[in-house]
Structure 1
Amino acid sequence: MSPLFRVLPAALVALAIASPALAMSGPGDKEVVRRNTFGGACAKCELSGRNLRGAEFMGANFAGSALVGADMREARVLASNFAGADLSRVNLSDAEMVGANFAGANLAGARLRGGEAKGVVFAGANLANADLSDVEAMGANFAGANLTNARLKNAALNGVVLTGAEARGSDFSDTALNGANLTGGRFNRASFRDASLNAAVLSHGDFDGADFRDADLNHASLFGADLSQARGLQQDQLDEACGDKSTRLPPGLTVRSCRGPVRVMIRAPRIPAPPAIPAPPAPPVPVARR
């Protein structure tokens, strides 16, 4: 029997077997081919190193599971729970994740390049040294996440929550952060070069050594933010931003006082409904005897 079947609970195995694309060959084979659909519960399962490329996770529960170094490229993760799971060095490039929960998960060194993570919860997750370049993650929640030295270049992060995030040395260059909330985050030496921060909230954040060259800060809220050692800031970038007396800026730069932060409404993506149960076949029609 394949190792995968020994670790999956009955409900999850039954769903996997029902998939016509499942092909497990011999003992020790770690291959799980494309178009598998997983649902049900597999909490604390050991799936490290598995090939789950192109698999579909629909309403599945993998909380606390180990998927270290797993290949999940082009996977679809819809309304599934990976809270507290170990996904360090996992490859989720080009994956589609909608309404998924990765709260407190370990994604250190993970690759999510080119993926979709709309409305995904990464609160408290470890994404240190992760590659999220070109990712689309509108409305995602990174509150309290560790994004140290993470790469988020050219990403679409409009409306994301980065409150209290640890993002030292992270790369947000060419990234859309319109309406994002960076309140209280630590962005020391981070790069926001050519980033769009329209109506973003940077209040009480630490931006020591951060690079804001050619960044768009129109209507950004800078209340209590420490930008005193930020690099690349020009006065014309601050002319349409808002701050207060506690805003710290490089020498010679000023910001106008505003009553309160600009509020922007971002529509969160809709979480997909689980697949419908197939209807039973129609009963046979009796044939009349002559």
Structure 2
Amino acid sequence: MHILLTGGTGLIGRGLCRHWAQQGHQLTVWSRSPQRVAALCGAQVRGIGQLEELGAEPLDAVVNLAGAPIADRPWTSKRKSLLWASRISLTEQLLSWLQGRADKPRLLLSGSAVGWYGDGGERELHEDSPPVCEDFAAQLCGAWEETAQRAEALGMRVVLVRTGLVLARDGGMLKRLLPPFKLGLGGRLGDGRQWMPWVHLDDQIALMDFLLQQEQASGPYNACAPNPVRNAEFARALGRALHRLALLPVPAVVLRVGLGELSGLLLGGQRALPVRLSEAGFRFRFTDLDTALADLLGDTD
């Protein structure tokens, strides 16, 4: 199978490239830095800077994961524009190119996030649940999904992957949390009651491969483990995994003053459940947070 990836040099993209290369798939990554693709994704992965470089080569699937990190810095107007362009504008460019191809791939597997629902409070959120609120993250995810769904008009099957908080040793949220927690300076955010829909990176890779192979899969899927936890429990579990106390909370007012609108992403949450993945027969390897953290951090000092 020939798979074109956007965002292939990111945390999830690199994992997918390793997994699919081992399965013998042909992989092409569309990147702003195509010369770095082989080093980041594997020697057998081709990097291209322009979609036109593919010419009329047959494609079986497109995996669209491109997007600037949403929680790296405060949401200034400039940052919001970048977040929007890196997702929606890039997806529009991808669709325009696909529309001009005579031979179109069968599948578009497109990224999204559980932020699509907004701050869900105590509600259980299934794939058929409506958005709870229209904060910036929800608007961003909503526009991203709506843009990707236009591929259906091209005769393509569209799968939307609403990813939770991906846990990985060498990237993502966990990498940013490790330094303060290792020093014993970690703790809950605000009152710690907000839900955190987490997923182990290995399960994220496995579920995306599962959806690639399922000919009947379409529409949104919550990509998070079946047992979300509250932020306070997450902090305690991470402290246990590192053999450290996690008793220093970050007051909500400090986050609001320091991060502005972005603080809502940290102080809110989603009690999202992977209902459609479970119904389709996917089984998570890591369903318990302590087990997932032990797997990732078992040999950490």
Q: Same fold (TM over 0.5)?
A: no
Q: Of the two structures, which has the highest relative contact order with CA contacts closer than 8 Å and spacing of 6 or more?
A: 2
Larger Rg belongs to: 1
**Structure with higher strand content:** 2
TM-score (norm 2): 0.21
TM-score (norm 1): 0.22
